[in-house]
Amino acid sequence: MQPLINRYVPKTTKEIFGQDENIKKLKNFIVNFAKEKKNSALIYGTSGVGKTCSAYAIANELGLEVIEVNASDFRNAEQINQKIGNAIKQQSLFARGKIILVDEVDGLSGREDRGGIQALLKLIEDSPYPLILTSTNPFDNKFSSLRSKSSLIEFKQLDHLSIFKILKGICEHEKIKYQDDVLKALSRRSGGDARAAINDLQALAHEKKELAEESLEELSERNKTDNIMAALNKIFKTTDLKIAISAFDNVEEELNEQLLWIDENLPKEYTNPEELAKAYEMLSKADVFNRRIKRWQHYRFLVYINALITAGIASAKKEKYKALVGYKPTGRILKLWWANQKAAKKKDIAEKIAAKTHSSKKEILKSTMPYIPIMFKNKEMRNNIINQLELEPEEVEWLKGQVK
């Protein structure tokens, strides 16, 4: 069965909630295009607030054809001329009116694309049709001339009542049973993103045709994972360091877990070996700082770690990878990691003793390690061992665990 999100694409502006003023502005811009000073409208706002669907719904109502182009079509002037040139030439008496939709101009990024923004600016100047651009982050410096050549329309995040109305409509149409307060909680949780809200509804209720109260608990668990996935997405998919650096701001998971998530998913995203190596260098530096914090409690290193694993990793790539990668949680590797960590502790301690006594690690593992936990029972000996070997807190914990 088709996902709800594909079945409930608004066909008319009546089905779009919470953006009445903006829809009016956009409609006016298109209808009065001949008199407008500017040839393009730049609609911007966060994800899932109705930017793309409004452009289509308005075109539909006005009987206009939508020529949709993507950021990647602007790679070079030739490519875009090929795609749009034909449409522009076909201005016959019988042809329908048109609008040109350049969805997600944010994709025009990186140095190689500079020609792309130029090509878009030229299109804005020459176009006989209204242009609608959408963007989630139009205030990037590289878009300054785009901004001055366009009328700006801000699509605000949807208030939870608008989301509630959207979900309620779907529930009724799909015959999904729900309690008002559970559906309201679901609406609040979406952060003003209707797409996310509809997808949540799909995940929690569509199969059972019921939105049960327990769903909310399921949601809060998922919320945590979602947050970290969103953080990875921010780091991996942007080259804008300002965006990357705040990636973990709303993530509750502790640092160790963040490092593991990155470690697990980085190689799937960065397929260029040089960029992958660079990114891993950042991660390993972060790991070094992390150890120093644990050993010496130098908490100010946390700032460096955060910079390394966000902006550092983001900057290891020249441009974002187009492929969509499903990021995997670390559950499995986390377990493996803990198991390895335990075995590693024993080896680490043996190594330290070997270094102090000028013997081999293998020898120490066999002849000395079995007695260390016994010596650990005696407080004075224990303190001596800890100081002499400069044991880390985890190593001390591990040894304590071995004392029978």
Which residues of the shown chain bind ligand ATP in the complex (CB under 6 A)?
5, 8-10, 16-19, 47-53, 134, 136, 158, 166, 194-195, 198
- Least Å distance, CB 75 to Mg ion, is 20
- Least Å distance, CB 19 to ligand ATP, is 5
Alpha helices for 144-214 (secondary structure H): 144-148, 160-174, 180-189, 194-201
Q: Report the chain's terminal Cα–Cα distance, integer Å.
A: 59
The nearer residue to ligand ATP, 39 or 162, going by C-beta atoms, is: 162
From Mg ion, ligand ATP, none, interface partner of 247 (C-beta below 5 to 8 A by class): none
Q: Which residue is nearest to ligand ATP (CB)?
A: 50
Rama region for 389: left / alpha / beta (φ>0; ψ in -120 to 50; rest): alpha
- Least Å distance, CB 389 to ligand ATP, is 54
The nearer residue to ligand ATP, 124 or 198, going by C-beta atoms, is: 198
Residue 192 and residue 158: Cα distance in Å, rounded? 4
Residues with Cβ < 8 Å from 20, sequence gap 6 or more?
none
- Least Å distance, CB 61 to ligand ATP, is 15
- Least Å distance, CB 9 to Mg ion, is 11
State whether residue 65 is helix, strand or coil: strand
From ligand ATP, Mg ion, none, interface partner of 16 (C-beta below 5 to 8 A by class): ligand ATP
Which residue from 40, 52, 190, 330 is in contact with Mg ion, where contact means CB under 5 A? 52
Q: Which residue is nearest to Mg ion (CB)?
A: 52
- Least Å distance, CB 84 to ligand ATP, is 21
The nearer residue to Mg ion, 51 or 98, going by C-beta atoms, is: 51
From ligand ATP, Mg ion, none, interface partner of 258 (C-beta below 5 to 8 A by class): none
The nearer residue to ligand ATP, 26 or 194, going by C-beta atoms, is: 194
- String of b and e for 60-70 (b: at least 16 CB within 10 Å)? eeeebeebebe
- Judge contact between 353 and 368, C-beta under 8 A: yes
From ligand ATP, Mg ion, none, interface partner of 136 (C-beta below 5 to 8 A by class): ligand ATP
State whether residue 48 is helix, strand or coil: coil
Residues with Cβ < 8 Å from 161, sequence gap 6 or more?
187
Token output for 245: 């650096």
Q: Which stretch binds Mg ion (CB under 5 A): 51-59, 157-165, 293-301, 329-337?
A: 51-59
201 C-beta neighbours (distance < 10 Å), count: 26
Burial of 41 (0-12, 13-18, 19+ CB in 10 A): buried
40 binds Mg ion (CB under 5 A): no
The nearer residue to ligand ATP, 52 or 306, going by C-beta atoms, is: 52
328 C-beta neighbours (distance < 10 Å), count: 13
From ligand ATP, Mg ion, none, interface partner of 50 (C-beta below 5 to 8 A by class): ligand ATP
Q: What is the DSSP string of 286-341?
A: HHHHHHHHHHH--TTHHHHHHHIIIIIHHTTSSS---S---PPPSHHHHHHHHHHH
- Least Å distance, CB 230 to ligand ATP, is 13
- Least Å distance, CB 103 to ligand ATP, is 7
State whether residue 150 is helix, strand or coil: strand
The nearer residue to Mg ion, 68 or 263, going by C-beta atoms, is: 68
135 binds Mg ion (CB under 5 A): no
Amino acid letter for position 39: N
Residues making contact with Mg ion (CB under 5 A): 51-52
